[in-house]
Amino acid sequence: MGPLFNGLCFILTSVLFCPIPSSSSSLSSKGLSEITQNFLDYAKRKDVFDWMVSIRRKIHENPELGYEEFETSKLIRDELDKMGIFYKHPIAVTGVVGFIGSGEPPFVAIRADMDALAMQELVEWEHKSKIPGKMHACGHDGHVAMLLGAAKLLQEHRDLLQGTVLLVFQPAEEGSGGAKKMVEAGVLENVEAIFGLHVRPDIPIGEVTSKSGPLLAGSGFFEAVISGKGGHAAIPQHSIDPILAASNVIVSLQHLVSREADPLDSQVVTVGKFQGGGAFNVIPDSVTIGGTFRAFSKESLMQLRQRIEEVITKQAAVQRCNATVDFLADKKLFFPATINDKGLHEHFQKVAGNMIGINNVKTMQPLMGSEDFSFYQEVIPGYFFFLGMNNETNGKLASVPLTLLQNQRRFTSLLELLFMRRKFISKNCVKCSSTTKKIPMKISNTIYIGFFAMYIHTYVCISLKKTKEREDRLQKIVISKFNLSCFILFYKIQNIYIHLILIYLKAYCVLEDIPGVFVPPILNFY
What pLDDT, on a 0 to 100 scale, did the predictor assign at position 389?
87
Q: Give 72-118 pLDDT, tens digit per residue.
A: 999 999 999 999 999 999 999 999 999 999 999 999 999 999 999 99
Q: Using alpha carbons, select from 342, 378, 15 the residue that is nearest to residue 165.
A: 15
What predicted TM-score, i.e. pTM, was given to this entire model?
Answer: 0.72
Q: Give 365-395 pLDDT, tens digit per residue.
A: 999 999 999 999 999 999 999 999 887 766 5
- Annotate 360-389 with three-state secondary structure: HEEECCCECCCCCCHHHHCCCCEEEEEEEE
Q: Give 185-213 pLDDT, tens digit per residue.
A: 999 999 999 999 999 988 998 899 999 99
The class of domain 218-326 in CATH terms is alpha beta
pLDDT bucket at 123, cuts 50 / 70 / 90: confident
pLDDT bucket at 451, cuts 50 / 70 / 90: very low
400: left (phi over 0), alpha (psi -120 to 50) or beta: beta
Q: Using alpha carbons, select from 340, 397, 396 the residue that is nearest to residue 363.
A: 340
Task: Give the three-class secondary structure for 64.
Answer: coil
Q: Give 406-426 pLDDT, tens digit per residue.
A: 333 333 333 333 333 333 333
Separation between Cα atoms, residue 311 and residue 301, nearest integer Å:
15
> For residues 422 and 259, which has the higher predicted lDDT (pLDDT)?
259
Which CATH code is given to the segment(s) 2-20+29-215+338-388? 3.40.630.10
- CB–CB of 48/152 below 8 Å? yes
Neighbours of 194 (CB within 10 A): 27
What pLDDT, on a 0 to 100 scale, did the predictor assign at position 354?
84
- CB–CB of 110/166 below 8 Å? yes
Residues linked to residue 273 through DSSP beta bridges, in sequence order: 290
Q: Using alpha carbons, select from 188, 183, 172, 194 the residue that is nearest to residue 333.
A: 172
What pLDDT, on a 0 to 100 scale, did the predictor assign at position 222?
98
Separation between Cα atoms, residue 192 and residue 11, nearest integer Å:
19
Mutual angle of helices 46-61 and 70-83, in 10-degree steps? 160
Neighbours of 33 (CB within 10 A): 19
What pLDDT, on a 0 to 100 scale, did the predictor assign at position 124?
87
pLDDT bucket at 474, cuts 50 / 70 / 90: very low
Q: Please tell me the least confidently modeled range out of 124-128, 129-133, 473-477.
A: 473-477
> For residues 411 and 253, which has the higher predicted lDDT (pLDDT)?
253
Q: What is the DSSP string of 28-42?
A: -TTS-BHHHHHHHHH
What pLDDT, on a 0 to 100 scale, did the predictor assign at position 184?
97
Q: Using alpha carbons, select from 7, 54, 13 the residue that is nearest to residue 153.
A: 13
What pLDDT, on a 0 to 100 scale, did the predictor assign at position 396?
55
What pLDDT, on a 0 to 100 scale, did the predictor assign at position 330?
84
Residues linked to residue 291 through DSSP beta bridges, in sequence order: 222, 271
Residue 521 has pLDDT above 60, yes or no: no
- CB–CB of 92/185 below 8 Å? yes
Domain ranges of the chain: 2-20+29-215+338-388, 218-326, 408-523
